[in-house]
Chains A and B, each alone.
Chain A
Amino acid sequence: MQYFLDFEKPLVDLEQKIRELRDYSTDSVDFSSEIKKLEKKADKLRAEIFSNLSRWQRTQLARHQNRPYTLDYIKNIFTDWFEVHGDRNYRDDPALVCGFARLDGQPCAVIGHQKGRDTKEKVYRNFGMPNPEGYRKALRVMQMAEQFGLPVFTFVDTPGAFPGIGAEERGQAEAIARNLREMAALKVPIIVTITGEGGSGGALAIAVGNRVLMMQYSVYSVISPEGCAAILWSDGTRGPEAAEALKLTATDIDQLGCVIDEIIEEPVGGAHNDYELAASQVKQALQKHLAELQELSADELIEQRYQKFRAMTVIQEPQKN
């Protein structure tokens, strides 16, 4: 199904025109010069649109319905993938997928939020919003990775933790908190990639890593722009303004200098235009960072992770007289 954002429309129309011209072309009718012209125009337009995106537009891209999700990345990056299910306490959470695979032959654990494409799957995946059992399953898999000495790769793409009665009853705060503490002490490398929406505690619960990478059009924030607007102005429709204030894009966060390690460039026009290219960009980054981390001992890994998060502070120390 074709889906596009408002600001993508002129581009989508142009691409449609090019496709049509191609379809009409036969041996006797030659549109190749027109096609070339239009393609040039499309490239220019694309560059223009994507070099001037507002923070809200980037948020929309991060949430794009056609954006590759965790299982798409897994398919294009890893081999021998097998999924595991359940937290051994309550149930399985389809909003967070966990399993094991190989990266270039190297065995590893893979964890990520999973959203759905169509309505039925969206509901099944709870729109990528985990319940406590999701975080607990993730922790179980991370501890298994530690047991077998395997690196952990996580993929973050969630609007946030699920605000439901059951989630509170079963202690989602405790589940998130425990992951933060246990991930800090894990003896194997953890590499986090924010692929789409990095929403609040639901994202952070699988995002305490030795490396934190962000895709070019992903966002990462303490609260969704809509949620922020609802609190600040009692008006959830003022998300675009809140997005500006929250400075939630990969570029913004990179400028803080202490939160992320790298921005992974996406294919022109966003990852949804080319899953394979997007995945190969991610794969290259994962390989590079894993190679660096494999040089470290378990204690060094824990220390490096601790110091990384320890440094995430901007404060004014009292003036000494």
Chain B
Amino acid sequence: MAWFKKSKAPIATVETKKVQMPEGLWTKCKNCDEIIYTKEIERNLNVCPKCDYHFRISARHRIDLIIDEGTFQEIDAGITSVDFLKFKDSKKYDDRIKTALKKSGDGDAIICGAGKIEGLPVVVAVFDFGFMGGSMGSVVGEKVTRAIELGLERKSPVLVFSSSGGARMQESILSLMQMAKSSAALARLKKAGIPFISVLTDPTTGGVTASFAMLGDLNIAEPKALIGFAGPRVIEQTIRQKLPEGFQRSEYLLEHGMVDMIVPRNEMKAQLSKVLSVFTKQPAT
């Protein structure tokens, strides 16, 4: 019970006229809180022009940025997930798959294919964070593995662009096994002497980090991406301490020796082309 009673009614707030703004015209940068004209961000490859924050982009967009126009041939499109455990939390996994499918138009959280980077043939697998947080279940694990196997068959370098919250809980033990399966395929690629480049984009965590994403001959990160195994919230709750500034960001991983280089989005293609050209012993241009 309150000791003092409020004798007066609280002062009413003045109703302000809200300016009606079409949805999506302006975007608030998650990093610097600056409000920026959305078109301007898009023109800048979805990178904040003020602070260089790299917004997440879709897998299709990523492929357009990296792969030479007209060379991309998708493989294993249309493979979809199965709710074999009849997993149910607040929603059935089956329904979650259906919703995600409808929203994205793609089969699951990854798109794979063969294409060229400045003329060099590669096999590429690109995560789509928009599809159930880029989580890895059977489909993602299988498609990554098939991409690696295709690289092995064609003797093409393999690239994976990761963006994932980790293993897909709804597939329980089988999602864990995808880590082993894909890493086993990489053992074969390594033995065959074919380059594997892992590009880590925001965010790459959990089972994806603890398998192929950390196994690149080169690990390349986009600036300021969250990269780690355990999520920051879980760590904070476990050790009951504040986490250090910049913890689990690309720059932190570079300092601790876990990634080879940080490459901004607008330089990524040129850098990949240079790296692959050296690794596959192409003549200098």
Report if A and B associate in a common complex.
Answer: yes
- Chain A residues in contact with chain B, CB under 8 A? 161, 163-165, 167-174, 176-178, 180-182, 184-185, 200-201, 204, 207-208, 220-223, 227-228, 231-233, 245-248, 253, 256, 259, 305-306, 309-310, 312-318
Given contacts A259-B173, A312-B138, A315-B138, 10 further A-B contacts (CB under 8 A): A165-B235, A168-B247, A208-B180, A221-B173, A222-B171, A223-B167, A313-B181, A315-B80, A315-B139, A315-B142
Separation of A313 and B138 alpha carbons in the complex (Å): 5
Contact A181 B90 (CB under 8 A): no
**Which of B81, B183, B228, B239 is within 8 Å of A181, CB to CB?**
B183
Separation of A163 and B243 alpha carbons in the complex (Å): 12
**Contacting residues, chain B, for A246 (C-beta < 8 A):** 85, 87, 169, 172
**B33 within 8 A of partner (CB):** no
Within 8 A of A (CB), among B85-132: 85, 87-90, 107
**B32 within 8 A of partner (CB):** no
A161-B256 CB under 8 A given contacts A168-B247, A246-B172, A248-B173: no
Contact A318 B78 (CB under 8 A): yes
Contact B173 A161 (CB under 8 A): no
**Contacting residues, chain B, for A185 (C-beta < 8 A):** 184, 187, 191
**B250 within 8 A of partner (CB):** no
Q: Mark B206-247, 1 if CB is under 8 A from A, else 0.
A: 110111111100000000000011100011001101011001
Contact B230 A168 (CB under 8 A): yes
**Which of B87, B181, B229 is within 8 Å of A168, CB to CB?**
B229
Contact A314 B209 (CB under 8 A): no
Contact A227 B211 (CB under 8 A): no
B199 vs chain A, min Cβ distance (A):
15
Contact B183 A177 (CB under 8 A): yes
A204-B230 CB under 8 A given contacts A168-B248, A182-B187, A309-B184: no
**B156 within 8 A of partner (CB):** no
A232-B89 CB under 8 A given contacts A180-B183, A181-B184, A313-B138: yes
Contact B89 A222 (CB under 8 A): no
Closest 8 CB pairs of A and B: A318-B78, A184-B184, A163-B230, A180-B183, A173-B209, A173-B229, A312-B177, A222-B176
Minimal Cβ-Cβ distance residue in A for B139: A315
Contact A161 B230 (CB under 8 A): yes
Minimal Cβ-Cβ distance residue in B for A201: B210
Most buried by B among A163, A167, A185, A316: A163
**B163 within 8 A of partner (CB):** no
Contact A247 B172 (CB under 8 A): yes
A139 vs chain B, min Cβ distance (A):
13
**Which of A253, A305, A315 is within 8 Å of B79, CB to CB?**
A315
A228-B174 CB under 8 A given contacts A164-B239, A201-B207, A313-B142: no
